[in-house]
Amino acid sequence: MILVTGGLGFIGSHTVRALLDLGEECVVVQRRARALPPVLAGEPVRVEQADITDREALLAVGRRHDITGIVHLAGSYPWPPVPEAPVEATRKSLDGLLNIVEAAQQWGVRRLGIASTIGVYFGAANDGPLREDTPLSMTAAVSIPTFKKVGEMLGGFLADTTGLDIVHYRISGTWGPLGHLDPFFAAPALVHAAARGTAADLGHLVHPASAADGLDLTYVKDTGRAIALLQLAQALNHRTYNVGSGRATTNAQISSAIRKVVPDAQVDLAPGHVDAPHLVLDISRLTRDTGYRPAYDTERAAADYIAWLRAGHDN
């Protein structure tokens, strides 16, 4: 049985869905009580309400379930980027990670997977698809990549010293059902606008969007499947894996894909220009060790997401 922290969230629920499809049983840990999301409705998913920063509550989950692996996707970094109590927020982040590792030790799990982010590559030399051995900058502008870099270093140390099989997933920009309006890329907002028949409002973005902007974007069903494959692989040759599409997707391509489904969608963006190469993940390591290949290109992903929203789902 695989335990998934944050397993009822965006990427978490699709990871659980993929694990179920591959024949695994799952138990999910959520800090707040909530119903199963639509992608898991009717499935025999066990749900435990616990805060991963509460060591005793987390360890008690393992006394109720025979847990053989852990996928740690729950947020483990201070948010917002400048929290009111930064020291306490940092302490909770580290407590959550250390509690998960201690649980993995006590339960004797086969593998512990921990979510990282494409954001760790910001500031690194970008002269082509980014490989996992690309030297990373020691600084980061916001909290998420900062804490993911720290988490990767701690995970490597703990893997060496405990003997645990700890694997980090550097997850690309992810979009699709159950997602939110991401502050770093426009795709979800463009799809929501098309599904509603309204003009796209991109005021939530950290930086103004143009048609030329692009990023390695992965449809969430592919992201969940990649994580499931990494968790279940018989043997892995590395501790860090890029989880992405292996290609850049621009806003212009998103708009074009949307118009295949909604011809009159109001998703035009200013042409703009690209100051630096798009961030694209090299996924050859992931493909070699798990056989993963993305199943959703941009057109299929946009059509699937629009159909989901038009079926009455809010996100």
- Residues 48, 164 share a domain: yes
Residue among 169, 172, 171 at smallest CA distance from 238: 169
For residues 245 and 297, give the distance between their C-alpha atoms in angstroms, rounded to a whole number.
9
Q: What CATH number does the domain containing 253 carry?
A: 3.90.25.10
Residue 193 is assigned to a structural domain of this protein: yes
Dump pLDDT digits (tens) for 98-157: 999 999 999 999 999 999 999 999 989 898 899 999 999 998 888 889 999 999 999 999
- Residues 280, 183 share a domain: yes
Three-state SS for 171? strand
Residue 271 is assigned to a structural domain of this protein: yes
- Containing H/E element for 302? helix 298-310
Class of residue 193 by CB neighbours under 10 A (exposed 0-12, middle 13-18, buried 19+): buried
Give the per-residue pLDDT at 78: 62
- Residues 287, 262 share a domain: yes
Q: Which DSSP state fits 214?
A: E
**Final residue of a structural domain among 188, 209, 243:** 243
Output the CA angle 190-193-199, nearest 5 degrees: 100
- Residues 264, 198 share a domain: yes
Q: Which DSSP state fits 7?
A: T
* 264-270 own/partner pairs: CB under 8 Å, 24+ apart: 265/190, 265/193, 265/194, 266/193, 266/194, 266/198, 266/199, 266/200, 267/190, 267/193, 267/194, 267/200, 268/211, 269/186, 269/209, 269/210, 269/211, 270/210, 270/211
Model confidence band, residue 273 (pLDDT cutoffs 50, 70, 90): confident
- Residues 55, 137 share a domain: yes
- Residues 142, 235 share a domain: yes
For residues 155 and 167, give the distance between their C-alpha atoms in angstroms, rounded to a whole number.
8
Give the per-residue pLDDT at 75: 78
Q: Domain count of the chain?
A: 2
- Residues 154, 256 share a domain: no
Dump pLDDT digits (tens) for 44-103: 999 999 999 999 999 999 999 999 999 999 976 666 566 678 888 889 899 999 999 999
- Residues 40, 154 share a domain: yes
Q: What CATH number does the domain containing 103 carry?
A: 3.40.50.720
Give the per-residue pLDDT at 80: 59
- Residues 60, 77 share a domain: yes
- Residues 294, 208 share a domain: yes
Residue 124 is assigned to a structural domain of this protein: yes
Question: Domain of 271?
Answer: 177-217+246-310
For residues 100 and 121, give the distance between their C-alpha atoms in angstroms, rounded to a whole number.
25
- Residues 140, 195 share a domain: no
- Residues 203, 113 share a domain: no
Kindly state the percentage of the chain with pLDDT values over 90: 83
Residue 34 is assigned to a structural domain of this protein: yes
Residue 71 is assigned to a structural domain of this protein: yes
**pLDDT average, residue stretch 236-265:** 97
Give the per-residue pLDDT at 32: 85
Residue 83 is assigned to a structural domain of this protein: yes
Residue 315 is assigned to a structural domain of this protein: no
Q: Please tell me the pTM assigned to this model.
A: 0.96
